[in-house]
């Protein structure tokens, strides 16, 4: 069965510093990986995805993620964090049944 782990419940970073939100996955075949963000009182919003091709994927709001097959990871990154990036971030993998399996989420706090 497919699964996703986000090892950190909470990540704190100072504004202007780089941020990383970690994700590791387990799948039987080719991984199809996604990052979503949830702002307070809002539904999840799509940030970026990896399907195939270049291991570095760029997405919305200056975020990017690096697919690493040998480490089965898909970490979310941003070179310079903003206070407005503070939110709950979910990594997800798509399984053979074409349904999503979500990680438990990581709360990012960017401190001014």
Partner 1 sequence: DADVTQTPRNRITKTGKRIMLECSQTKGHDRMYWYRQDPGLGLRLIYYSFDVKDINKGEISDGYSVSRQAQAKFSLSLESAIPNQTALYFCATSAGTHVGETQYFGPGTRLLVL
Number of residues that make up the chain: 112
102 binds partner 1 (CB under 8 A): yes
58 binds partner 1 (CB under 8 A): no
- State the greatest distance between any 2 C-alpha atoms of the chain, in Å, as a whole number: 43
66 binds partner 1 (CB under 8 A): no
98 binds partner 1 (CB under 8 A): yes
Nearest approach in angstroms of CB 65 to partner 1 is 14
Q: Indicate the burial class of 89 (C-beta count within 10 angstroms; 0-12, 13-18, 19 or more).
A: buried
Residues forming contacts to partner 1 in the complex (CB under 8 A) are 4, 9, 32, 34, 36, 41-46, 49, 51, 90, 94, 98-100, 102-105
């Amino acid at each position: 069965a497919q699964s996703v782990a986000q090892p950190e419940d909470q990540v704190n970073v100072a504004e202007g510093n780089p941020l990383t939100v970690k994700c590791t996955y387990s799948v039987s075949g080719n991984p199809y990986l996604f990052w979503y963000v949830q702002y307070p009182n809002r539904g999840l919003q799509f940030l970026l995805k990896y399907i195939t091709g270049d291991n570095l994927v760029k997405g919305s709001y200056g975020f990017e993620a690096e697919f690493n097959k040998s480490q089965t990871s898909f970490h979310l990154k941003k070179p310079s964090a903003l206070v407005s990036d503070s939110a709950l971030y979910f990594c997800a993998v798509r399984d053979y049944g074409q349904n999503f399996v979500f990680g438990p989420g990581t709360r990012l706090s960017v401190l001014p």
